[in-house]
């Protein structure tokens, strides 16, 4: 299992300046695909995608070339999703939660306090839940590689107090994305969720417009939220992953043997990226603690029970439908 550090991130990003300057072959590629992402070049998604692109070019004898455009170079995430659907973009790495506006049931893996750990979430996404969601995505004219890549869990930070029990959320002013799932999750605890543009979040925390926010640890580091937050509670309240999406028509232009190579190599990189993210989570906790952020671990059981009593799970069971909810509960146990 491979690990990485900030140095290896930088090394990877230099190498992938990228995936577009791969070893030259005598003839131009028969199939050239553009791959977009909304994460920085140094993110494991892009480093591992660059490696997959290099292996694909080698395995196809130069017939398939994938050009990588990280960090929103081709537009914001929703724009790239539209480009993917139209065929202007061939491959796109994107959060399952952000695909939900197009395919609502893609929000299913993010149900609050559903999975007990990342291993369980990935088992679900490699199993029946992933199969079900990929079929839903295919109805929109796009497809996915078989294995999902991981983003990990979101955690709660605060300037006022650590969140240790569900009652600590009572009256707590927390910034959330403008999403019904996030709003209903924190309302279920008696918190006051407030939708604030991410670009304005640092200032909102600094000026105490809100008491806290929730995001993966990598966001706390890259956006320096530790400067305006004192506590980080490891709530693991919402899990997220990345789909490697592809335009179905673009993909189908390749011979079947090349399609198999592309899927195989992206799935190899999915396994590597998962290991990267697990190592990064440990590194980030150490780094952020060194910057003064105070960490506490949380027992998830009382939080799940509180949401159950608040009707949160019944609400989302109704919205997702009994088939999707039943598949989810195969991996989470009974929620509602």
Among 225, 237, 94, 219, residue whose Cα is nearest residue 153: 237
The per-residue pLDDT for 19 is 42
pLDDT digit string, tens, across residues 105-117: 999 999 999 999 9
Q: How many CB atoms lie within 10 A of CB 282?
A: 11
Q: Please identify which residue in the block is written with the tokens 């061939």.
A: 90
Distance between first and last Cα of the chain: 37
pLDDT value of residue 192? 97
Q: Which fold is adopted by the domain 6-151+240-284?
A: D-Maltodextrin-Binding Protein; domain 2 (3.40.190)
CB 169 within 8 A of CB 208: no
Residue extents of the structural domains in the chain: 6-151+240-284, 154-237+289-332
Q: Decide whether 6-151+240-284 matches 154-237+289-332 in CATH topology.
A: yes
Half-sphere exposure of 96 (CA within 13 A, CB side): 30
- Sign of the Cα torsion 192, 197, 198, 200 reads negative
pLDDT at 9 (0 to 100) = 44
Q: How far apart are CA 227 and CA 232, in angstroms?
A: 12
- Picking from 97, 98, 56, the residue whose alpha carbon sits closest to that of residue 79 is 98
Give the H or E element holding residue 67: strand 64-69
What's the confidence (pLDDT) of residue 8?
45
CA distance 276 to 1: 8
| Strand partners for 246 | 91, 143
Query: What CATH code would you report for 154-237+289-332?
Result: 3.40.190.170
The pLDDT of residue 177 is: 86
Report the DSSP pairing between strands 192-195 and 173-176.
parallel
- Please, what are the averages of pLDDT over each run of 10 residues along the chain (336 residues)? 42 42 62 94 93 98 97 92 97 93 94 95 97 96 96 95 97 92 94 91 97 93 94 97 96 98 98 95 94 96 96 97 97 93
Take residue 72 and report the two structure tokens written for it: 């929103």
């Amino acid at each position: 299992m491979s690990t990485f550090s900030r140095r290896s991130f930088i090394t990877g990003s230099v190498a992938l300046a990228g995936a577009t300057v791969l070893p030259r072959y005598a003839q131009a590629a028969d199939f050239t695909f553009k791959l977009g992402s909304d994460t920085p070049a140094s993110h494991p998604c892009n480093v591992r995608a660059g490696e997959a692109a290099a292996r694909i070019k080698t395995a196809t004898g130069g017939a398939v070339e994938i050009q990588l455009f990280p960090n929103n170079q081709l537009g914001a995430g929703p724009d790239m999703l539209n480009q993917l659907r139209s065929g202007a973009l061939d491959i796109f790495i994107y959060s399952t939660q952000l695909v939900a506006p197009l395919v609502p049931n893609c929000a299913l893996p993010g149900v609050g306090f559903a999975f007990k750990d990342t291993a369980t979430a990935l088992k679900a996404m490699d199993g029946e839940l992933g199969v079900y969601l990929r079929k839903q995505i295919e109805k929109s004219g796009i497809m996915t590689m078989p294995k999902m890549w991981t983003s990990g869990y979101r955690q709660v930070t605060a300037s006022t107090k650590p969140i240790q029990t569900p009652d600590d959320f009572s009256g707590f002013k927390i910034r959330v994305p403008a999403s019904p799932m996030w709003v209903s999750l924190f309302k279920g605890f008696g918190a006051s969720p407030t939708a604030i543009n991410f670009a304005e979040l640092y200032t909102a925390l600094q000026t105490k417009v809100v008491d806290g926010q929730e995001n993966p640890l990598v966001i706390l580091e890259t956006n320096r939220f530790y400067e305006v937050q004192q506590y980080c509670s490891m709530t693991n309240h919402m899990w997220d992953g990345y789909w490697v999406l592809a335009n179905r028509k673009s993909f189908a232009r390749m011979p079947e043997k090349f399609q198999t190579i592309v899927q195989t190599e992206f799935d190899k990189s999915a396994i590597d990226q998962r290991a990267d993210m697990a190592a990064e989570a440990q590194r980030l906790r150490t780094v952020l603690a060194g910057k003064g952020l105070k960490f506490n671990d949380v027992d998830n059981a009382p939080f799940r029970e509180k949401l159950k009593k608040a009707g949160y799970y019944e609400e989302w069971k109704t919205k997702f439908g009994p088939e999707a909810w039943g598949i989810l509960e195969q991996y989470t146990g009974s929620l509602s």
